[in-house]
Amino acid sequence: MRTLVRLVVVAGLWLALVVGAPGATRAGQAAAAGSAGLPVVTSNTVLADFVAQVGGAQVRVRPLVPRGIDPHTFQPTPAAMTLLTQARVIFFNGAGLEEWWAKTLRSVKKPGIPVVELSRGLATLTLPGDGPGQAAAPDPHLWLDPVLAKTYVARIREALATVDPGNAAAYTARAAAYAGQLDALDAWIRSEVAQIPEARRKLVTFHDAFQYFAQRYGLTVKGYVVASPGKEPSAKAMADLARRIRVEQVPAVFAEADYNPKLLEVLGREAGVTVVTDLYDDSLSAGPPADSYLTLMRHDVTTIVTALQ
């Protein structure tokens, strides 16, 4: 498949950014510890891990959004220093994930920095509008499907090789090796999900992040508390969701570690079902169980399969 990478040349530079290791992957931290390496900035920690896997010691990668922070509503502040001033290439997800991104780019002034939108051109599912008359929006969580994550990795390889052609062979080799790990992950998830009885393959989560995962592995999203973070559901919406959970006989509902579980706990009591509180999706954790993309996916799958069996 032809890799579709858009290198957007940015016209301007001022930004308050989050500095430092809290958001970096372990591989990214190791690369950043030295003075050598291509400086790379990503919008979030999941993308930083992809870059670290492809870039290895040839890159120094930093995410703007730290671990455990919601990338949907994150706002760079003047207290955070200018990582983008040092970047040679920048990666973001797109598809509406980083609600702050367009404003950020408008304040950037450094000609020649390639900015790669990793989801560009991929077929997206939709999120419903937040209320009557509100338009549907694309679902940005494509990376939760490991097959689509391989496209991200291919685009990262292409961008790094374009900016740093002297290390192109190393980027290509690492991207191929990591793609093999993603293939193995995909096969493992299929075997794990097969243990869930078909009638129980139903997901209810805090926010609507698992559509691509569900579509890939034969689960059905039966509901969510909010379409995207930062919104509060109405009492009627919560009551309707609790009723749907009872009617559909959903075995459990899943909170996400980066968000307050209180609404899910209320929902679980109302619906009379188990609440599982530690899925990961938009951000890596500072340590186990989700300190890399591969461990995040394995943790989530194990958690989901255990709860739905």
Question: In this structure, are residues 300 and 255 in contact, taking their beta carbons and an 8 Å threshold?
Answer: no
Provide the pLDDT for residue 226.
86
Q: Which of 186, 202, 296, 188 is nearest to 249 (CA)?
A: 202
Which domains, and CATH codes, for the chain? 7-186 (3.40.50.1980), 193-308 (3.40.50.1980)
Distance CA 32, CA 156 (A): 18
pTM comes to 0.85
Mean pLDDT of 86-92: 92
Residue linked to tokens 């739905």: 308
Selected residue with higher pLDDT from 183 and 133: 183
Percent of the chain having pLDDT more than 90? 66
State the DSSP H helix or E strand holding residue 216, giving kind and residue range, or none if neither: helix 211-217
Residue 100, pLDDT > 90, answer: no
Q: What is the mean pLDDT of the chain?
A: 85
Q: What is the pLDDT of residue 129?
A: 58
pLDDT at site 36: 79
